[in-house]
Structure 1
Amino acid sequence: MADNNSLVGGDLSRRQINDRVIIVQILVMIFLCINFLLIVTFFKKECFYTSARYILFAVTLLSDSLLLFMSDFLLIMTSFQFTLQVWLCVVISVVVLLYLTVTPVTLTAMTLERYVAICMPLRHAELCSTRSSLHCVLIIHGLSSVPCIVVLSSFFVSASLSFYKQYQLCSVEIFIFYIWQHHLRSALYQFQFLIMCIIIVFCYFKIMKVAKAASGEDEKSTRKGLRTVVLHGFQLLLCLIQLWCPFIEGAVLQTDFILFIQVRYFNYIMFYLAPRCLSPLIYGLRDETFFQALKNNVFFGLFKRNI
Structure 2
Amino acid sequence: MAANSSEVGGEILMRKIDERVIVIQVLIAVFLCINLLLIRTFFMKDFFYTTMRYIFFAVTLLSDCLILILSNMLLLFQFYNFTTQMWLCVIIYTVSSVYTSVTPFTLTAMTLERYVAICMPLRHAELCSRSNSVNCILIIHGLSSANAIVLLSMFFASATSNIYTEERICSKVIFILYRWQNDIYSAVGQIYFLIMVITIIFCYVEIMKVAKAASGEDKKSTQKGLRTVILHTFQLLLCLIQLWCPFIEAAVLKVDLMLYINVRYFNYIIFYLSSRCLSPLVYGLRDEKFFHALKSCLWSNLKTTILPLK
Normalised by the shorter chain, which TM-score bucket? Answer: over 0.9
1:154 pairs with 2:148? no
1:190 pairs with 2:186? no
Q: Could you say what secondary structure the match of 1:84 adopts? A: strand
- 2:106 maps to amino acid: T
Output one character per residue of 1:104-158: Cα deviation in whole Å (capped at 9) or x when no partner.
Answer: 0000000000000000001000000111101111011011111111011111101
Per the alignment, residue 119 of structure 1 pairs with: 119
Output one character per residue of 1:183-221: Cα deviation in whole Å (capped at 9) or x when no partner.
Answer: 111111011110111001000010010011111111111
Per the alignment, residue 36 of structure 1 pairs with: 36
Q: Could you say what secondary structure the match of 2:277 adopts? A: helix
Per the alignment, residue 239 of structure 2 pairs with: 239
The size of the alignment, in residue pairs, is 307
Per the alignment, residue 50 of structure 2 pairs with: 50
Shift of 1:256: 4.2
Name structure 1 gaps, 5 residues minimum. none
Q: Could you say what secondary structure the match of 1:177 adopts? A: coil
Q: Could you say what secondary structure the match of 2:177 adopts? A: coil
Q: Could you say what secondary structure the match of 1:137 adopts? A: helix
Per the alignment, residue 226 of structure 1 pairs with: 226
Q: Could you say what secondary structure the match of 1:46 adopts? A: coil
1:300 pairs with 2:296? no
Per the alignment, residue 272 of structure 1 pairs with: 272
**1:1-307 to 2 correspondence within 5 Å?**
1-303=1-303, 306=307
- 2:95 maps to amino acid: V
- 2:36 maps to amino acid: F
TM-score, normalization: structure 1?
0.97
Q: Could you say what secondary structure the match of 2:43 adopts? A: helix
> Structure 2 CA distance, aligned partners of 1:244 and 1:223?
32
Percent of pairs identical after alignment? 63
Q: Could you say what secondary structure the match of 1:243 adopts? A: coil
> Structure 2 CA distance, aligned partners of 1:296 and 1:217?
27
- 1:30 maps to amino acid: V
- 1:169 maps to amino acid: I
TM-score, normalization: structure 2?
0.96
> Structure 1 CA distance, aligned partners of 2:50 and 2:279?
19
Q: Could you say what secondary structure the match of 2:170 adopts? A: coil
Shift of 1:81: 1.1
> Structure 2 CA distance, aligned partners of 1:173 and 1:301?
44
> Structure 2 CA distance, aligned partners of 1:212 and 1:258?
51
> Structure 2 CA distance, aligned partners of 1:267 and 1:162?
34
> Structure 1 CA distance, aligned partners of 2:121 and 2:45?
24
Shift of 1:262: 2.7
Q: Could you say what secondary structure the match of 1:157 adopts? A: helix
> Structure 2 CA distance, aligned partners of 1:77 and 1:178?
24
Shift of 1:258: 4.1
Output one character per residue of 1:210-236: Cα deviation in whole Å (capped at 9) or x when no partner.
Answer: 011111111111001001111111111
> Structure 1 CA distance, aligned partners of 2:301 and 2:252?
49
- 1:58 maps to amino acid: A
Shift of 1:171: 0.8
> Structure 1 CA distance, aligned partners of 2:122 and 2:142?
29
- 1:231 maps to amino acid: L
Shift of 1:88: 1.1
> Structure 1 CA distance, aligned partners of 2:202 and 2:59?
23
> Structure 1 CA distance, aligned partners of 2:259 and 2:73?
20
Aligned-pair Cα RMSD in Å:
1.2
